[in-house]
């Protein structure tokens, strides 16, 4: 019985990455593609700021 209760309590804590991005977009007022672009920058460069190539001025 306790395993079933535990499963029921945590079911709503696990959501897909797509749902997470959608919720973030709603919270911050950005569209989902902008949130995806920011996530990609963080994954690629460890920063949400635009990446600057070496030699760019």
DSSP letter at 12 equals: G
Q: Please tell me the predicted confidence (pLDDT) of residue 12.
A: 62
Domain extents for the chain? Answer: 2-45
pLDDT in tens, 23-40: 989 999 999 899 999 889
CB-based contacts of 49: which residues, under 8 Å, 6+ apart?
Answer: 41
The proportion of the chain whose per-residue pLDDT surpasses 90, expressed as a percent, equals 14
Is the pLDDT at 55 greater than 60? The verdict is: yes
């Amino acid at each position: 019985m306790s395993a079933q209760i535990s499963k029921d309590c945590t079911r709503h804590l696990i959501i897909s990455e797509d749902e997470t991005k959608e919720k973030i977009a709603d919270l911050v007022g950005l569209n989902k593609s902008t949130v995806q672009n920011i996530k990609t920058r963080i994954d690629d460069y460890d920063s949400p700021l635009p990446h600057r190539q070496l030699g760019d001025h």
